[in-house]
Chains A and B, each alone.
Chain A
Amino acid sequence: MNTNEILETINMIDNEDLDVRTITMGISLLDCVDPDIEKASGKIYDKICRYAQNLVKTGEDITRQYGIPIINKRIAVTPIAMISGACPAYSPVHFAKVLDRAAKQVGVNFIGGYSALVQKGFGPGDYALLESIPEALAETEFVCSSVNVGSTKAGINMDAVEKMGRIVKETAELTAHRECIGAAKLVVFCNAPEDNPFMAGAFHGPGEPDCVINVGVSGPGVVRAAIKKSGGGCDLTEIAELIKRTAFKITRMGQLVAKEASRRLCVPFGIVDLSLAPTPAVGDSVAYILEGMGLSRCGAHGTTAALALLNDAVKKGGVMASSSVGGLSGAFIPVTEDAGMIEAARSGCLTLNKLEAMTAVCSVGLDMICIPGDVTPEIISGIIADEAAIGMVNSKTTAVRVIPAIGKKAGEELDFGGLLGGGPVMPVNTASPAEFIHRGGKIPAPLQSLKN
């Protein structure tokens, strides 16, 4: 065994914030459907508690065995609209409370799946679930919600987009006394992956097995340090190689943890999500990687190109390191969770428009962005529609998680604390798209040939 390699690993963990971001257990609730809401709730609570009872302890044991911090242990469940549709007389908020209680009982820090998949239209339960999201997120602590409004194969459901603009705003309003945190737990997707382990967008897709372990890796700090060490002499081909090599190592660690967790919990291993997920810790920032490549500040012209290089190299390095890759896989750009992005946004260099362009080449979308509280629901719907269009046309996942800062204006700040961080309220173009949004209907699925 090579001493330098051993010390390299230890340095990555001790000084460069290398960690496994999350072990997420996906649990199917399809067998808990029952027209009697009390019975359905009982089955859901029991199943989650039974399957996940050792999840947190197993994560802690693996941390101590390998010396790798595993930051989060989480649960993703079948989209609740599929379950609540069987109990049309009751509010789906009831199920949110059951999920919250189960999450608290097993000790996980988030439970995802208060979700609906409405890209092609609304099924039983979907309307009620969408309308209940603000109340559900205001009255629970651990529940995360997501709604898929579009896909490359189905097009964009603009009726859902219209609703979601209003629902995002109402969610923020109902939690205005808690820094509008409800909106930070709500994601609107296009092309949502069914095996994503990262919150707030995790849910257990209907095509998944009964129970599965998915792992999300992290490590922006490690990539940044590798680029810094390489000095200024490298050209971008060499930088891409360097990122690939680093991503390989990070992912191998994730694969090891995933396999070990799967073995200990006797649950099949699903996927490793090869993501560079930043944290507010200084150094653990995707923006700093881009700046390390030579941009004076994240948001400068050239940022989209640098991010495209980073995103692609992370995937190429990671794919070979894991037997099964999935989820969101790529570089995340959540503004309030990334020290470099926060600085760039405060200085005005990083704008919403630039972020939108960046989402065309990164792994997710407009993520953790605080917008002024007086922004109209139609403008939020417009933001969602733009983002969904980028995802739909480019056959990629895109998402919107914006937080309307109720009572605040551009330049003021929100502070969520913990992994969600905090950051400046960013100005938004206030020209109204209301007429377009209120037309409703669908944007048809795009042609998959004649690509220009």
Chain B
Amino acid sequence: MIKTEKAVITVIGKDMVGILAKVSAMCAEKGMNVLEVTQSILQDMFVMVMLVDITGSSSAISELADEFDTLGESLHLKIHIMHEDIFNSMHKI
């Protein structure tokens, strides 16, 4: 059985039309399955957290990080993709 690998994508920045669409389009293009999405808008700040399955992804997570950096810059947003292990290890005993 293939071990599933998950990553967390976070998007932080000024709210505008089409953020979710652009980020999820990138996920689809790279073969990542979106498992969970939560988003909220605090004052004008848009905060979205996505849990994605990257087991079947066509690119390594380090390449995805570069792609999302580029996308983030073009939209003036901060987009991070990080392997879920970092959050599990920091916040769970």
Contacts and interface: CB of A to CB of B under 8 A. Distances in A.
Contact of A61 (B38, B49, B62, B86): B62
B84 A1 contact: yes
B8 A1 contact: yes
Interface string B26-41: 0000000000101000
A14 interface: yes
B23 interface: no
Interface size grouping (class) on chain B: 20 to 34
A206 to B, nearest CB: 33
Nearest to A2: B91
A179 to B, nearest CB: 35
Given A3-B38, A7-B10, A7-B47, A67 B84 contact: no
B61 interface: yes
Interface string A52-92: 00000000010011111000000000000000000000000
Contacts of A256: 85-86, 89-90
B53 to A, nearest CB: 13
B81 interface: yes
Interface string A31-65: 00000000000000000000000000000010011
Nearest to B10: A10
A252 B82 CA distance: 16
Nearest to B35: A1
Contacts of A68: 86
Contacts of A65: 61-62, 65, 82-83
A6 B49 contact: yes
B80 interface: yes
A68 B82 CA distance: 9
Contacts, number: 62
A67 B65 contact: yes
A253 B89 contact: yes
Contacts of B49: 3, 6-7
Nearest to B6: A1
Contact of B82 (A8, A67, A249, A255): A67
Contact count band on A: 20 to 34
Nearest to A68: B86
B3 to A, nearest CB: 14
A6 B8 contact: yes
B14 interface: no
B8 A253 contact: no
Contacts of B84: 1
Interface in B29-67: 36, 38, 47, 49, 51, 61-62, 65-66
A51 to B, nearest CB: 23
Nearest to B66: A64
B81 A67 contact: yes
A211 B39 CA distance: 46
A9 interface: yes
Contact of B87 (A1, A61, A255): A1
A219 B3 CA distance: 32
A249 B10 contact: no
Nearest to A12: B90
A235 interface: no
A253 B86 contact: yes
Nearest to A253: B90
A61 B65 CA distance: 11
B44 to A, nearest CB: 17
B92 to A, nearest CB: 9
Given A1-B36, A9-B82, A253-B89, 17 more contacts: A1-B8, A5-B91, A6-B8, A9-B86, A9-B90, A10-B10, A10-B80, A65-B65, A65-B82, A65-B83, A66-B85, A67-B80, A67-B83, A68-B86, A256-B85, A256-B89, A256-B90
A-B complex: 5 closest residue pairs judged by Cβ atoms = A64-B62, A67-B82, A5-B91, A66-B86, A256-B89
25 contacts: A1-B8, A1-B36, A1-B51, A1-B87, A2-B91, A3-B38, A6-B8, A6-B10, A6-B49, A6-B87, A7-B47, A7-B49, A8-B91, A9-B87, A10-B12, A14-B78, A61-B62, A65-B65, A67-B65, A67-B81, A249-B90, A252-B90, A256-B85, A256-B89, A256-B90
